[in-house]
């Protein structure tokens, strides 16, 4: 049925291995032979059977990317970047959506699910430090995000505390005194929420502003609707506010919505800054200032680290990599005139360090100062 190397070999009058050599670019082949083989390949429309090749070579040149949900713009954009980075390195990406399911996240790691790829890039949302043991897997793994520190795997993360602090300080530098934070989770000790909240408090402190619990608007899920709700509740409670740091852009866009419906001007009455710098931030009304956590760099680094483990180039201790992040000023903080382009107003440098298991995940994040 399908045409195999055998058929090509027969037509070209060579052995099957010679065909293989041609296909794989083995250098010592007489030009005449190569030509005959290529003619046969074209003529027969031969395409290599990747499955057989993979069985033999033990490589599939595919990697898995496991994210919570593609409808969340941050993850869609991350997936986009990862696919491009993988593509540039000759890899194909298979996407696994964990859809906010703890069980699904566990499956991703235990390999209960399909297991045909060379490695995994995993951005957990449910698993936490208590699940550290699960991350001790027997395939190449790169962890993304802020939920799990100290896993026996390479880790690409963000400059959360430093960036959140910088964002808060940026609002303070604009003269804002009553800076609310939208999106914290009560009592949460791990993950982006906790880290960014820590940065917020550090920022307040450095700016000499008091911490007022009334300015904390909680939101379980980081969606626009919850952001609008949290912001709305805060305003309706009569809390005085002149600045908002939202823990991600979706929340920030929701907050903009809530502010708008209540007739407050942004940035006139309230300045708003988000986190993630998703595409939408550039097109909202007003355009949204945000923290660019270095998405491109995260994706490329993650793929590079994974490739290094797959190929065995890197066998040393696991690394933790933190890309540079930048504050992008736009209309919502009055950093650009209406219609102007966003521009970087601050940079936090990242870095690379060995990742050791730590009992205090909160403390484990390096803080650029």
Partner DNA sequence: CGACTAGCGTACAACGTTGGAAAACACCGC
Partner DNA sequence: GCGGTGTTTTCCAACGTTGTACGCTAGTCG
* Interface contacts to a second copy, rule CB under 8 A: 47-52, 54-55, 60-62, 69-71, 73, 76-77, 79-80, 83-84, 87, 92-97, 99, 111, 113-116, 224-225, 228, 253-254, 256-257, 260-261, 279-280, 282-285, 338-339
Given the complex with a second copy, which of 23 and 207 has the nearer CB atom?
23
Q: How far is the CB of 80 from a second copy (least distance, A)?
A: 4
Given the complex with DNA, which of 7 and 296 has the nearer CB atom?
7
Task: Work out what residue 173 binds among a second copy, DNA, none; the CB cut-off runs from 5 to 8 Å by kind.
Answer: none
Which runs of E-coded beta strand occur in 149-297? 154-156, 179-184, 216-218, 243-246, 271-273, 290-292
Q: How far is the CB of 354 from DNA (least distance, A)?
A: 32
Sheet holding 325-329, edge to edge: 290-292, 325-329, 343-348
Compute the distance between CA of residue 15 and CA of residue 10 in angstroms, rounded to an integer.
7
Task: Work out what residue 115 binds among a second copy, DNA, none; the CB cut-off runs from 5 to 8 Å by kind.
Answer: a second copy
Given the complex with DNA, which of 57 and 189 has the nearer CB atom?
57
Given the complex with DNA, which of 48 and 345 has the nearer CB atom?
48
Q: How far is the CB of 42 from DNA (least distance, A)?
A: 15
Given the complex with a second copy, which of 240 and 279 has the nearer CB atom?
279
Q: Using DSSP, state whether 223 is helix, strand or coil.
A: coil
Interacting residues of 22 by C-beta distance below 8 A, sequence separation 6+: 29, 33, 34, 37, 38, 41
Task: Work out what residue 261 binds among DNA, a second copy, none; the CB cut-off runs from 5 to 8 Å by kind.
Answer: a second copy
CA 287 to chain centre: 22
Q: Using DSSP, state whether 104 is helix, strand or coil.
A: helix
SS3 content of the chain, % helix, strand, coil (to 5): 45, 15, 40
Q: How far is the CB of 313 from DNA (least distance, A)?
A: 17
Q: Which helix (H) or strand (E) holds 321?
A: strand 319-322
Task: Work out what residue 351 binds among DNA, a second copy, none; the CB cut-off runs from 5 to 8 Å by kind.
Answer: none
Q: Using DSSP, state whether 24 is helix, strand or coil.
A: coil
Task: Work out what residue 14 binds among a second copy, DNA, none; the CB cut-off runs from 5 to 8 Å by kind.
Answer: DNA
Dihedral of CA 29/31/34/36: which sign? negative
Residue 213 and residue 184 in contact, taking contact as beta carbons nearer than 8 Å: no
Q: How far is the CB of 138 from a second copy (least distance, A)?
A: 8
Task: Work out what residue 207 binds among DNA, a second copy, none; the CB cut-off runs from 5 to 8 Å by kind.
Answer: none
Interacting residues of 101 by C-beta distance below 8 A, sequence separation 6+: 126
For the chain, how far is it from start to end, CA to CA, in angstroms? 65
User: Which residues make up the interface to DNA (CB under 7 A)?
Assistant: 1-2, 4-6, 13-18, 20-21, 23-24, 26-30, 32-33, 48-49, 52-53, 55-58
Q: How far is the CB of 144 from DNA (least distance, A)?
A: 30
Task: Work out what residue 298 binds among DNA, a second copy, none; the CB cut-off runs from 5 to 8 Å by kind.
Answer: none
Residue 164 and residue 197 in contact, taking contact as beta carbons nearer than 8 Å: yes
Compute the distance between CA of residue 8 and CA of residue 12 in angstroms, rounded to an integer.
6
Residue 129 and residue 103 in contact, taking contact as beta carbons nearer than 8 Å: no
Given the complex with DNA, which of 1 and 133 has the nearer CB atom?
1
Given the complex with a second copy, which of 168 and 290 has the nearer CB atom?
290
Q: How far is the CB of 40 from DNA (least distance, A)?
A: 12
Q: How far is the CB of 106 from a second copy (least distance, A)?
A: 15
């Amino acid at each position: 049925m399908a045409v195999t190397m055998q058929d090509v070999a027969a037509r070209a009058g060579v052995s099957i291995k010679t065909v293989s050599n041609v296909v794989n670019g083995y250098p010592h082949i007489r030009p005449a032979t190569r030509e005959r083989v290529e003619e046969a390949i074209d003529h027969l429309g031969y395409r290599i059977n990747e499955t057989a090749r993979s069985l033999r070579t033990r490589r599939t040149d595919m990697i898995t990317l496991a994210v919570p949900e593609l409808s969340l713009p941050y993850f869609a954009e991350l997936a986009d970047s990862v696919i491009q980075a993988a593509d540039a390195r000759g890899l194909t990406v298979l996407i696994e959506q964990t859809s906010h399911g703890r069980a699904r996240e566990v499956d991703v790691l235990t390999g209960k699910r399909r297991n045909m790829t060379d490695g995994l890039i995993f951005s957990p949302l449910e698993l936490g430090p208590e699940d550290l043991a699960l991350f001790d897997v027997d395939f190449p793994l790169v962890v993304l995000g802020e939920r799990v520190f100290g896993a026996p795997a390479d880790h690409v993360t963000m400059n959360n505390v430093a960036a959140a602090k910088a964002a808060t300080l940026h609002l303070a530098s604009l003269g804002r005194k009553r800076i609310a934070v939208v999106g914290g989770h009560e009592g949460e000790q791990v993950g982006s929420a906790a880290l960014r909240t820590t940065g917020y408090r550090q920022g307040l402190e450095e700016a000499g502003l008091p911490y007022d619990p009334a300015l904390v608007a909680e939101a379980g899920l980081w969606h626009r609707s919850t952001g609008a709700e949290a912001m709305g509740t805060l305003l309706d409670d009569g809390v005085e506010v002149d600045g908002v740091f939202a823990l991600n852009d979706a929340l920030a866009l929701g907050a903009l919505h809530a502010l708008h419906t209540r007739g407050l001007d942004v940035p006139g009455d309230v300045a708003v800054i988000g986190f993630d710098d998703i595409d939408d931030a550039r097109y909202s009304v007003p355009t949204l200032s945000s923290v660019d956590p270095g998405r491109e760099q995260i994706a490329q680094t993650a793929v590079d680290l994974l490739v290094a483990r797959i190929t065995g180039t890197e066998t040393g201790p696991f690394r933790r990599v933190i890309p540079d992040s930048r504050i992008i000023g736009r209309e919502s903080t009055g950093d650009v005139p209406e219609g102007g382009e966003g521009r970087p107003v601050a940079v936090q440098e990242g870095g690379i360090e060995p990742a050791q298991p730590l009992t205090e995940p909160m403390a484990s994040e390096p803080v650029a100062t």
